[in-house]
Structure formats: structure tokens, C-alpha cells
């Protein structure tokens, strides 16, 4: 199961469609890095709303994706973490410290636009 990555303006949108195995997460991370390089996108929104589990491996992958993107000059926003999933992550001791999150796709895109404006202003 691969994650489709769409380009929309200067941003990439990736909506996870179903539970991912570890190998699928690794593939997604690589696809995204490659697509970022090819498209020169300035931001990435990753929608995880269909996922009912974000365990330590998935969390590590999301962090890695955000870090890789940042090194390539793009911002990442994770959207759609379900409330029960957030609760389980906290219980497990996981955090997405330093990574932008937002409620849904629309809000994620708004966050990206705001961040890019801030960058343009040199803030």
C-alpha cells in the first residue's frame, strides 16, 4: 500500500489511505523526499485521519519526514490525528514535539501559508 502524493500549488498533499506496514512507511518517506526534490514544493500536508494506530514506529517516521523536509526547505504539517489516537500516543509516551499539527487539511494548508508568509517577512 503506497501513499498517493499530490501537488497542489506550491504544496504537497499526502493522504494516508490505510494502515501502513513499516516497509510502507519507509517507502512513503522516500517517495516524499524524492517528490519534494523534484517539485521544489515549499510545504507538505500529511493527512493521517484514517489511521487508528500511530505507534512508536509511525511516530518516528513522521518525525523523520518532518526533519528531512525541513532540511530541504519545506514545512510539514500533520493533520487529522484522531482524538483516541492522540490519547494512546500520550499514554505510550510519544510526542510530535517540534512538528506542526492541525485539525484537518484546510487548517493544515492555512498553517503552511502562514508559515511561508512569516518566512518571506524574515520573522
Residue numbers 38-67 binding another protein by CB under 8 A: 52-57, 59-60
Q: Which triple of cell numbers denotes residue 53? A: 494506530
Q: Residue 11 or residue 25: which is nearer to another protein going by CB?
A: 25
Evaluate whether 45 touches 77 at the Cβ level (below 8 Å): yes
d(C-alpha 2, C-alpha 25), whole Å: 8
Q: Residue 42 or residue 63: which is nearer to another protein going by CB?
A: 63
Among 4, 6, 9, 19, binds another protein (CB under 8 A): 19
d(C-alpha 77, C-alpha 112), whole Å: 7
d(C-alpha 59, C-alpha 63), whole Å: 6
Number of residues that bind another protein (CB under 8 A): 23
Q: Which residues bind another protein (CB under 8 A)?
A: 19-23, 52-57, 59-60, 82, 84-85, 87-89, 91-94
Amino acid at each position: 500500500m503506497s501513499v498517493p502524493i499530490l501537488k497542489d500549488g506550491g504544496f504537497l498533499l499526502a493522504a494516508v489511505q490505510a494502515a501502513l506496514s513499516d516497509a510502507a512507511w519507509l517507502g512513503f518517506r522516500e517517495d516524499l523526499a524524492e517528490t519534494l526534490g523534484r517539485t521544489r514544493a515549499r510545504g507538505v500536508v500529511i493527512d493521517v485521519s484514517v489511521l487508528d494506530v500511530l505507534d512508536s514506529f509511525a511516530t518516528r517516521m513522521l518525525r523523520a519526514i518532518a526533519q528531512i523536509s525541513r532540511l530541504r526547505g519545506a514545512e510539514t504539517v500533520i493533520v487529522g490525528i484522531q482524538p483516541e489516537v492522540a490519547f494512546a500516543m500520550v499514554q505510550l509516551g510519544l510526542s510530535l514535539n517540534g512538528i506542526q499539527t492541525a485539525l484537518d487539511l484546510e487548517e493544515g494548508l492555512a498553517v503552511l501559508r502562514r508559515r511561508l508568509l512569516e518566512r518571506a517577512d524574515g520573522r
